[in-house]
Structure 1
C-alpha cells in the first residue's frame, strides 16, 4: 500500500519503532492517517490493500472509508471498469463503489479518466454520513440498476456531492438515470449529465427531499417517463439553475417535463437555458403542486403536445417569471400553450418575455380550467403564433382568468384573437394599469387585439392599440358574453368591418363607461370605423367614440341588426367615406337610443353626417346633434325610417351640396317634440329640416336661425312651435311664426350642450306640457312657470318680491 503523508513520531524508542514496522509489514494494523491515495491500476480489485504498489480504485475507496478523514484519491488516465458483481451491499466489496466518508476524487479529465460500471450496478453510492464528496475530471458511465431502483450513475443519500468537470453518461435506473439525490445535495459546476435513462422519473437527475444546483454544467440528451432531464420531488426538494453556461438540453420525457419536472418541490432558473427538450406535456418545465421561478434564465425551443415551454399543472402549482432578461421563447406545442400552459395553477409574469412561441391555440399562453390564473404585471407576450388556423396568438383563456396589469401583449398572430382569445362562459380577461398594452397583433379572421367567444372582458385601463383583423374587430371582437370598456382605450386598430370593435351575436354586449374610456382613431375598410354591431347591444354610458373612419358607412358606429344606446358620452369627429359619419342604422331591427350625450363634429362624404337611419329606428331624448357635416344631404340626421326627437338640440350641422343641414327626411314617421333646431346650414332647401318624403311632425319645438331656410318641403305641426321666419307651414294651435325666440349661443349646462332661452323669450310658458315629458334636456323639471316652455330648455321661474316701504 502507498500511504502519503504518513508520519511516525521521532521520539519513539528503537524497539517500539521496529515493532510498529513489523506490524505494518504484516498488514495487521491500518494507518491512523491517510490523506491521499493514488490509484495505480485500472483492474477492479477488492483486497483492501495498496501496500504492494497495486492500488485499485475500489481498494482506495475501501481504505478511505475506514479513515474517517477527508481523503483524496487521484486517478491517472485510463478506463476503470468495475467487474466484481454483486449489488445491494454497502462495503464497496462488490458492485457499485460505496462511499461513507468525506472524499475528493480527482481524474485527469473526462476524456482521459473513465469509470465504467459495465452494467453490473450503478457506479457510485454515497451513503448517509459521507458528508462532502467531490468528484472531478472523470467520466462516470454504464451504471445500471433495476427498473424500480434509483441512481444509475450515482445514488447520493444525504451527502453533499460536487461534480466538477465530470461527465455522467449512459447510465440506467428506474429513478435518476444519471444521478439520484435523497436528502442530500448535488452541485454540477461544469461537465455533463448526458445520455442517461430512467424508466420512471429523472433521466438525468432526480432530487428527492434534497437540493441540486446546476452552475455551469449541462444536463443533456437524457430520457425518462417523467422529467427527462431533471425530476424534483417532495416538499423540501429544491433545484437551482444558475450561470449563463448552465444548460438543460435535448432531454425527452414520454409523458411530462422534458427538461424539468417539479412535483411538490421548488425550482429556480436564475440563469442558463432549458432548451430543445421534448415531452407530451411541458416540453421545458412541468410544475405539479410546486413552485418554479424563472429569474433571468431562458426556456427556449422546447416541444410538447401541451405547454411547449412550461406546463403549470394541478393544485397549488405556481410559476413566476421575473427579471427583464428571462425569456420563454421559440417553444412549440402541437396543441395548446406554445410558451406556457396553465392547467389549474397560477402563472405570474412579472418581467421577462414570452416570445416567438407556437401552438394551435394559445401561441404564447393557454389558460385552461376555471381555477387557472394568469397574471401579467410586466414584461411582454410577443411575437407568438397560433398555427393551423388556431386561435389566441398571445393568450388563449379557455375557462380560467387572466389579468393584464402593466405588461404588453404585442405582435402576436392567430386566426381569431391575435392578442387574446376568451373562449367559455366562465372565462374572464381583465386589462388594467396605464402601462398595459395589447398592440400590433394580427388576426387573419376576427379580433386582432382580443376575441371574446364567450365569457367576460373588462378593460379598465391601458390600451388596445394598432391591431389588425382581416375580417371583423380590429381591436376587439365580441361574439357572445359581455365586454366592458371602463377607462381603457381602443385606439388605431384596423379591420374590414368594425375597425375598433365588432359585436356579433344577439347575446353579446359592449358597454363603454367612464370619462376616460375611448374608442378612437380606428379604421374599417368597409363599415363601422369605431364599432360595428351585427347583432347584440352597445351601450355608451360615458367616454368617447372619437376620430374613427369607415371607408363606406358608419364612421363611428354601424348597427346592422343591433342596438346602440347612449346614456352619456360622445360620438365625435368620426368620418364615413360614404354615409353615416357618426352612426349608421342598416336594417329593420337596428335601433339607436340617445338618452343623453352628444353626436358631434362627424363627417359623411355623402349623406348623414351625424346619423343615417336607413332602416330600423332612432330615438333621442336629451341628446345633442352638434356640428356634423354631410357632403350631400342630412348634416345632422338623414332618415328614411322612424325617428323620434324629444328634449334634444340640433345645432351647427351643415351640408355642403344639398339640403337638410339639421335633418333630411326621406321616410318616417319623424316625431320632433320639445326640441331646438337652430343655426344649421345647407347649400339649398331647408337648413334646419328638409322633408323629401314621409311624415315630419313638429310639436313644442323651436326652429330658428337656420340657413338658407328653416324648412324645406311640407312639415306637419302638432302645435305650439316657434319659428323666427315662416318657412315651416306652422299653422296649428299655439304656433308662433316670424318671431325671434331669443336664444343664447350654444352653452354647456349640467353636462349638456343647449341653447338657453333669454329673459323675455316668447317661448317661455308658450308650450303645452305633454304627459311623460317631465323634464327638459338638462333634466330640469317642467314646468317652472305657468306652463311648459317651447324647445329643449325650460327657463327658470322668476320670483318677484313685493316692495315694502318702511317709515
Structure 2
C-alpha cells in the first residue's frame, strides 16, 4: 500500500520539534497509575519492561515501549502523546494491550482544518499484514487517534475484553479508523462482552466528509466498518460509518448487541457516503440484535437480516435512499429478512428506497417472519427491467408476516408487476391490518395488479381495518388472484376502500380464486369499472354486508365466476348495481338492497332483489354511510348470513336483527328529561 499522503504531512513538523529538544523523556513514577507520554514517532521497544519507565535504549518513549510498560506494570496506566501532528509507522504488530484499566488517549492532541477538527496522532500501517491496535483487556479505552492503513483490522478487541471503550462522546474522544484492509473495528470472541464502540468516524476521511483528503479519495475499510462476532452485551453507538467495502456495521453469531444512534452511509454533512453493500448486516444466527435510532442511507441495502436464528428488533430508524436492484437477491431496498431472518420492524421512517421487489421492506423464505408495525413507508420503488417487480412498499413471499398500523404512502411499482403498497406471494399466513394505504401505484403497460394490496396464492390471509384510498393505475386497489380454498381463506373485512382509480377490474378484484370472503367493507367513490369484481373463479367468492356505493361504473361485476352476495347495500353506482360481463355464472343472493344505480339494478334477467329502497345514509355526500334512524336497512339483514361484527365495531345484532350493509347501528337511547339539559 502507498503511504497515506495525508499523514505524511506531519513528518517535517515532527522532525523540527525534535531538533528543538521539545520531546522530553518521561520521569519515573511509582508503579500503578502511571502516565506514559509518547515523545517519539519511532518504533523501538522499551529497554526494560516492568520498571514502569517508558524509555527505549535511546531514552525516548515510543508507543510500542509505552504499551510494553503498561502491560508489565501493575494497575492502570494512561498513554498520552507529547505533541501533534505525530505520525507513527509500526514496523510490526504492536503488542496487544493486556493490562486492565489502561487508556491510550490522544484527545488533547487534535488539529484543525478550517471549521473541522481531527486527531493529530496517527497510527499508519502502510498496508502491512497485521492489526493496528489490539485490545485484550477490560476497562481499557482508546481515545482520539487516527488508525489507518493496516492490512488487517484497524482496532481489534478480543481475548475476553470486557467493558472497554473504543472512542466516546466526550471531548475529542472520537477515533478515525479508515483505509484498513479488513474491518475498521472488530469485536470478536464469546467472552468478549459489554464493550462500547462510540462516536468514531469509520471509513471516512479525517473530518468525516465525502471529499478527497490529502490526495486520497477512498478512505473506506476493505470489509466492514464495524464488525461484532460472538459475545453479548456489546454496544455500537453514535458512530459515523461510511464508504466501507462491504457493510457499515455487521453482527454475526452473537447473543445480544445494541446498534444505536449511528449515521451509516452518510458523511458528517449528510452527503451520500454509502457502504458498498449493506448499511447493517445481521447474520450467522446473531440473536437479539437491537437496531435503534440510526440513520441508514445510500447503501445498496439498508438492513439485511439473514440466516437461521438471526433475529433483530429494528426501531426508530431513518432508512432512506438505499438501492438493492443490483444485489442478489434484488429484494428489500430498505430492509430484507430472508433465509430464516426474523424480527420486529417498528416506528421507522423507510423512505425512497429501491429494489426489484420490496422497495421498502421484503421478507422471504419459509422460516422467515416479521412484525411490521407503526412505520412510515413512503416513496419506495419496486423497479425491474423486463421482469416482474412487486411490492413498492412491502413484499413478502413464502413467510409469515403481520403488517399493522403503518402509513404506506406514495410507493410505486415500475414495469410489470403488482402491489404498489403491499404484495404478498405464496404466504403461509399473513395479516394486513389497520394501515393507511394511500396514493400507491403500479405503472406498467404490460401487467399491473393491486395498486394498494396484491395477494397471489398462499394460505390464511387477513386484510382488515385498512384505509385503502387514492391508489392508482392497476387492476384493483385490493387484488387477490390464484388463491384456492384448499390452501386457506382470504378475509377482506372492515376496510375503507375509496377514491382509487384504475383502467380495469374493480376496486376490490378477485381473479381465479376461491375461499375469499369480502365482508363489512365500505367500497365507495372508486373510479374503476366496478366496486367489487369476481372473475374467472371456479370456486366461491362471498360478499357479505358490504356498502358498495357511488363507484364509477358498476357496483359489482362478475365474469365466469361463482359469487355469493348477502346483505350488501349496492347503491348509486354509475352503471348497473350488479353486472354479468359474460362467461358462466353462479350467483347466490339474498338480503341485498340494490338502489338508484345508473343503468338499473342488474343486467341479469330474472333476478329480483330483496330490497330496492333508499338506504338513508347519514350523509352520502360527506362519505358518512352509517344509517339514519328509520332506514329500511336497520334490523333487515338475513341473520343466517350476517357476520358477528361490523365495519364500525359494533357486534351484530344491536336491535331486533342485524342491519344490511357494513354498519350496525345501535338503537336510540332515550334519556330522562333531567339528563337532556332541560
Change (3 A) 1:563 1:550: farther
Distance across 1 between alignment mates of 2:78 and 2:139: 15
For 2:312, which of 374, 377, 380 is the aligned residue? 374
Distance across 1 between alignment mates of 2:144 and 2:432: 49
Distance across 2 between alignment mates of 1:448 and 1:384: 13
1:234 aligns with 2:176: no
Deviations 1:105-140 (A, max 9, x none): 9x99xxxx99598xxx99844313275344423758
Change (3 A) 1:416 1:548: same
Distance across 2 between alignment mates of 1:422 and 1:487: 20
| 1:101 counterpart residue number | 52
Asked if 2 retains the 8 angstrom alpha-carbon contact of 1:123 and 1:143, the reply is no
Asked if 1 retains the 8 angstrom alpha-carbon contact of 2:158 and 2:188, the reply is yes
Asked if 1 retains the 8 angstrom alpha-carbon contact of 2:101 and 2:139, the reply is no
For 2:321, which of 361, 364, 383 is the aligned residue? 383
Asked if 2 retains the 8 angstrom alpha-carbon contact of 1:409 and 1:437, the reply is yes
Distance across 1 between alignment mates of 2:253 and 2:43: 45
Per the normalisation by structure 2, the TM-score is: 0.71
For 2:410, which of 466, 477, 486 is the aligned residue? 466
Asked if 2 retains the 8 angstrom alpha-carbon contact of 1:467 and 1:493, the reply is yes
| 1:635 counterpart residue number | 577
Distance across 2 between alignment mates of 1:288 and 1:392: 26
Deviations 1:246-281 (A, max 9, x none): 343334355xx343334322343432311244355x
How far off is 1:539 after superposition? 1.6
Unaligned runs of 5+ residues in structure 1 are 1-41, 43-53, 146-150, 168-187, 681-745, 758-772, 785-807
Distance across 2 between alignment mates of 1:755 and 1:100: 96
How far off is 1:403 after superposition? 1.6
Deviations 1:635-694 (A, max 9, x none): 344453424343322333422xxx4x111127xxx7657x223469xxxxxxxxxxxxxx
Asked if 2 retains the 8 angstrom alpha-carbon contact of 1:229 and 1:252, the reply is no
For 1:616, which of 540, 553, 561 is the aligned residue? 561
How far off is 1:310 after superposition? 1.3
For 2:394, which of 445, 450, 455 is the aligned residue? 450
1:754 aligns with 2:625: no
How far off is 1:316 after superposition? 0.6
Give me the CA root mean square deviation.
Answer: 4.1
Pairing 1:520-559 to 2, within 5 Å after superposition = 520-523=469-472, 525-535=473-483, 538-559=490-511
Change (3 A) 1:247 1:157: closer
Change (3 A) 1:116 1:503: closer
- Report the secondary structure of 1:550's partner residue: coil
How far off is 1:553 after superposition? 2.4
| 1:421 counterpart residue number | 362
For 2:332, which of 383, 392, 412 is the aligned residue? 392
Distance across 1 between alignment mates of 2:101 and 2:315: 41
Change (3 A) 1:316 1:74: closer
1:261 aligns with 2:191: no
| 1:625 counterpart residue number | 570
Distance across 2 between alignment mates of 1:159 and 1:777: 72
1:351 aligns with 2:293: yes
Change (3 A) 1:312 1:376: same
Asked if 2 retains the 8 angstrom alpha-carbon contact of 1:414 and 1:442, the reply is yes
Deviations 1:395-423 (A, max 9, x none): 11111223222122111100111011111
Deviates more, 1:211-220 or 1:489-498: 211-220
Deviations 1:364-408 (A, max 9, x none): 111113422222231211111113261110111111223222122
| 2:124 counterpart residue number | 194
How far off is 1:459 after superposition? 1.9
- Report the secondary structure of 2:331's partner residue: coil
Deviations 1:206-253 (A, max 9, x none): 1113244343322222222xx343334415252231258634333435
| 2:28 counterpart residue number | 64
- Report the secondary structure of 2:309's partner residue: coil
Pairing 1:97-496 to 2, within 5 Å after superposition = 98-101=49-52, 124-126=68-70, 127-129=72-74, 131-137=76-82, 141=88, 143=90, 152=94, 157-158=99-100, 160-164=102-106, 190-195=120-125, 203-224=131-152, 227-234=153-160, 236-243=162-169, 246-254=174-182, 257-263=183-189, 264-275=192-203, 276-280=219-223, 282-304=224-246, 308-322=247-261, 326-329=263-266, 330-334=273-277, 337-345=278-286, 346-358=288-300, 363-388=301-326, 390-398=330-338, 399-433=340-374, 436-444=375-383, 445-470=389-414, 471-481=417-427, 482-495=429-442, 496=448
How far off is 1:103 after superposition? 6.3
Change (3 A) 1:191 1:652: same
How far off is 1:752 after superposition? 10
| 1:34 counterpart residue number | none
How far off is 1:582 after superposition? 0.9
Distance across 2 between alignment mates of 1:645 and 1:81: 90
Distance across 2 between alignment mates of 1:159 and 1:238: 8
Distance across 2 between alignment mates of 1:509 and 1:778: 18
Q: Alignment length, in residue pairs?
A: 558
Distance across 2 between alignment mates of 1:315 and 1:69: 35
- Report the secondary structure of 2:521's partner residue: strand
1:497 aligns with 2:449: yes
Distance across 1 between alignment mates of 2:419 and 2:159: 47
| 1:573 counterpart residue number | 525
Distance across 2 between alignment mates of 1:74 and 1:250: 22
- Report the secondary structure of 2:520's partner residue: strand
Change (3 A) 1:753 1:156: farther
How far off is 1:613 after superposition? 0.8
Greater strand share, structure number: 1
Quick check: which has more Rg, 1 or 2? 1
Distance across 2 between alignment mates of 1:778 and 1:221: 69
Distance across 1 between alignment mates of 2:323 and 2:630: 46
For 2:612, which of 677, 701, 707 is the aligned residue? 677
How far off is 1:455 after superposition? 0.7
Per the normalisation by structure 1, the TM-score is: 0.61
Distance across 1 between alignment mates of 2:66 and 2:36: 21
- Report the secondary structure of 1:676's partner residue: coil
Deviations 1:283-338 (A, max 9, x none): 4333422334343322112122xxx111111131413313xx7445444355xx44
Distance across 2 between alignment mates of 1:192 and 1:642: 80
- Report the secondary structure of 2:28's partner residue: helix
How far off is 1:452 after superposition? 1.0
Pairing 1:634-713 to 2, within 5 Å after superposition = 634-640=576-582, 641-655=584-598, 659=599, 661-665=600-604, 675-678=610-613
How far off is 1:488 after superposition? 2.1
Distance across 2 between alignment mates of 1:79 and 1:545: 71
Distance across 1 between alignment mates of 2:33 and 2:168: 31
Deviates more, 1:135-144 or 1:488-497: 135-144
Unaligned runs of 5+ residues in structure 2 are 1-17, 110-117, 204-218, 267-272, 384-388, 443-447, 616-624, 645-651, 657-678
